[in-house]
Amino acid sequence: ATVDRAADFANYFCTYGFLYHQKEMLSDRVRMDAYYNSVFKNRHHFDGKTVLDVGTGSGILAIWCAKAGARRVYAVEATKMTEHARQLIKANRVENIVEVIEGSMEDVVLPEKVDVIISEWMGYFLLRESMFDSVICARDRWLKPDGVMYPSHARMWMAPIRTGLGEQKTSDFELSMGDWESFIDETEQQYGVDMSVLTKPFHEEHVRYYLKTSLWSNLNPHQIIGKPVIIKEIDCLTATVDDIKAFSVKVSSSITMEKTRLGGFAGWFDVHFRGNRNNPGHDIELTTAPSTNHSTHWGQQIFLVHPARCVDDGDNITVSFSMSRSRENHRLLDVELTWELTELSGKCSTPVASKYYIE
Amino acid sequence: ATVDRAADFANYFCTYGFLYHQKEMLSDRVRMDAYYNSVFKNRHHFDGKTVLDVGTGSGILAIWCAKAGARRVYAVEATKMTEHARQLIKANRVENIVEVIEGSMEDVVLPEKVDVIISEWMGYFLLRESMFDSVICARDRWLKPDGVMYPSHARMWMAPIRTGLGEQKTSDFELSMGDWESFIDETEQQYGVDMSVLTKPFHEEHVRYYLKTSLWSNLNPHQIIGKPVIIKEIDCLTATVDDIKAFSVKVSSSITMEKTRLGGFAGWFDVHFRGNRNNPGHDIELTTAPSTNHSTHWGQQIFLVHPARCVDDGDNITVSFSMSRSRENHRLLDVELTWELTELSGKCSTPVASKYYIE
Ligand SMILES: Nc1ncnc2c1ncn2[C@@H]1O[C@H](CSCC[C@H](N)C(=O)O)[C@@H](O)[C@H]1O
Ligand SMILES: Nc1ncnc2c1ncn2[C@@H]1O[C@H](CSCC[C@H](N)C(=O)O)[C@@H](O)[C@H]1O
């Protein structure tokens, strides 16, 4: 399916046009510290170099690159946020180094190739928003052969968790279905129309909304009940759109907590800034894993298991995970997840398969 | 500005594709009763006639028209809701009368002209969503010269009100600006970037969001402190897009409550079903005026006046009101409102002018 530009702009980019939203990102200390350190602890990657900032937003990363000694920074941004970025760049006296270019990265023409591409492209569970496509496009056109990607690596993680969210959502769902039943009765009595044929599709719509849509959450690390596992590794220097557009993986994790309940799976990501093989740097990490005092605006995505399943220390969970893009909106994701439990005794459960939507 | 179809679909139509949203409308008893009565108390308009339902949604109005004796009903709907409408129409055994057509009204071709056009096209404060454009388009192409519009007339109302919302929003706004100040300090200290140049645009963005965006509310009738006045009358049989695209009006209202505070203006609408001159019917009214026990999902739109202004019984308020479509999205509205108070003593206030956004 081709992407309609205007619809994409209306849907996706519009939020980024608000300072309110940029501020939310700029207030995320974990995110800010990681990018700040990645630049200022690796000045040798920037000093005298040319840099491309894909999706500069407020311009923050471009300004840092300039302050770290870059000779020239191209700061590309699709939204009107460029106006604010220009002001900010001027107020911080790097307007001779940073050039703000308003446009889609896919369309922009630069006067030269660059030594570094920096971008904060990560969405929920890493790939929501599909913005890495634009970074790949920029890399293939504008990065010098020996250029460096910031970040250089990304990984997706998954872990079994305990949570009361499944019960809560199930009860919300049931309330809503109860309400539907009285609606059916009333419509028949008051208006002579029998709506019961819509009960099934309404039920499906609601199951999807309440139980199959992944939930944003900032988990407490204690909610993780099994070993987190990596489900995807991305080398930002070589990854292609095909690598990330759709993938499947089978992983296994062991339960590390006594007599608890599996209420779902949590997904998160980390990225690393390591330079490249010929031009390494200080390894800086940005992780969005559950944390008591380093939580991020990305949080984690929860895929509910309901009803929750009793599990025990030493049980083994095998998970087949596949992710693809939503047919209606390429920036949203569809997940298929099948899990199976092997108890310490050797007893196996029948596999449980569910579809989820990251919206 | 031309309307991009795909963007419009992504933005506007997507909500109507959910049964959840259709149910909200189908549960609005004031709305349902008015349309139900308009059809069943005016069977002579439908018996043996052809009908076009513009934006049939679940198909409810089309089903009623069929049950009231229509010979043929064309039920046009842009979203996939057509699938549910078809099921509902079959389950209610009117599938031989109602033909569901999936498509934009603007594109659809009917096999014949119709005697009646029925549509529930009203948005917040009547004109939000600009769906009446599609009804006008349908009327000009498909209504017989002596045809009837359902509804036949629409009016927009406005009244001065008292409300604590202005204080609340002002305090939310101030909190948010306080938070911005600490953000500025932290960003300077932690990350060496001076963001203060963005304070002005952030302030503007926030004034717009907190104080200049009209608010949805279901007012208590006691909050109305002056005589409601009509600011726009629409004859659905003759109105043109130009009539509704933009208009200005000057009205005056007298305060009818002793020593109170003007906290804003409320806007609402009513529509009437009266048939037409040669073919009149029982006059049925659907009003969205403040009411204790007949409130609707439309509620009223509130335009805040802040700080609130002391007013007294007998004071006169003159309001210049103009409405136009938002430049970025033709389905949203911009309002300019200037009001002026003449006290009973003859003392005049200086006019207060504000812009508002209906989003
Ligand atoms: N293809 C594309 N071309 C240009 N800008 C894009 C883009 N895809 C996403 N963006 C922009 O990329 C930004 C991502 S958010 C990150 C903003 C900023 N770099 C910071 O770290 O704070 C948004 O402002 C978004 O509008
Ligand atoms: N130009 C257009 N062409 C076709 N359908 C349209 C349209 N503009 C709006 N609609 C549809 O009109 C409906 C308005 S809501 C009213 C639904 C139904 N008639 C009822 O009274 O319950 C929505 O379902 C929307 O998708």
pLDDT at A9 over 80: no
Q: Which atom of ligand 2 lies at the shortest distance from residue B25's CA?
A: 22
For range B242-248, the mean pLDDT: 97
Sorting pLDDT into bands at 50, 70 and 90, what band is B10? low
Which residue does chain A place closest to B195, by CA atoms? A88
pLDDT at A261 over 70: yes
Question: Shortest Cα distance from B32 to chain A (angstroms)?
Answer: 8
Name the residue of B22, B134, B141, B330 to mutate for ligand 2: max ligand atoms within 8 A of Cβ. Answer: B134
Burial, A145: exposed, middle or buried (Cβ in 10 Å; 0-12, 13-18, 19+)? exposed
Q: Cα–Cα distance between A143 and B214 in angstroms, integer?
A: 47
Q: What are phi and psi of A325, to 5 degrees?
A: -90, 150
Q: What are the tens digits of pLDDT across the range A314-323?
A: 999 999 999 9
ipTM (interface predicted TM) = 0.90
Are A67 and B192 in contact (CB < 8 Å)? yes
Q: Cα–Cα distance between A338 and A353 in angstroms, integer?
A: 4
For range A96-113, the mean pLDDT: 97
The pLDDT value recorded for residue A12 is: 72
pLDDT at A256 over 60: yes
Sorting pLDDT into bands at 50, 70 and 90, what band is B13? confident
pLDDT at A1 over 50: no
DSSP per-residue codes, B291-346: -SS---TT-EEEEEEEEEEEE-TT-EEEEEEEEEE-SS-TTSEEEEEEEEEE-TTS
Q: Cα–Cα distance between A23 and B176 in angstroms, integer?
A: 11
3-state secondary structure chain A: CCCCHHHHHHHHHHHHCCHHHHHHHHCCHHHHHHHHHHHHCCHHHCCCCEEEEECCCCCHHHHHHHHCCCCEEEEEECCCHHHHHHHHHHHCCCCCCEEEEECCCCCCCCCCCEEEEEECCCECCECCCCCHHHHHHHHHHHEEEEEEEECCEEEEEEEEECCCHHHHHHHHHHHHHHHHHHHHHHHHHHHCCCCHHHHHHHHHHHHHHHHHECEEECCCHHHECECCEEEEEEECCCCCHHHHHCEEEEEEEEECCCCEEEEEEEEEEEEEEEEECCEEEEEEEEECCCCCCCCCCCCEEEEEEEEEEEECCCCEEEEEEEEEECCCCCCCEEEEEEEEEECCCCCECCCEEEEEEEC
Beta strands in B163-226 (DSSP E): 215-217
Cα B59 from chain centroid (whole Å): 21
The pLDDT value recorded for residue A298 is: 97
The pLDDT value recorded for residue B329 is: 85
What's the gap in Å between B295 CA and the centre of ligand 2? 22
Name the residue of B28, B60, B77, B150 to mutate for ligand 2: max ligand atoms within 8 A of Cβ. Answer: B77
The pLDDT value recorded for residue B128 is: 94
Which ligand is located closest to the Cα atom of residue A3? 1
List the catalytic residue out of A95, A99, A129, A167: A129
SS3 B356: strand
Using CB atoms, pick whichever of A6, A60, A84 lies closest to residue B193. A60
Percent of chain A scoring above 90 in pLDDT: 90
The pLDDT value recorded for residue A328 is: 84
Higher pLDDT, B161 or B327: B161
Q: Which atom of ligand 1 lies at the shortest distance from residue A12's CA?
A: 26
Sorting pLDDT into bands at 50, 70 and 90, what band is B345? confident
pTM: 0.92
Residue with tokens 């409308």: B25
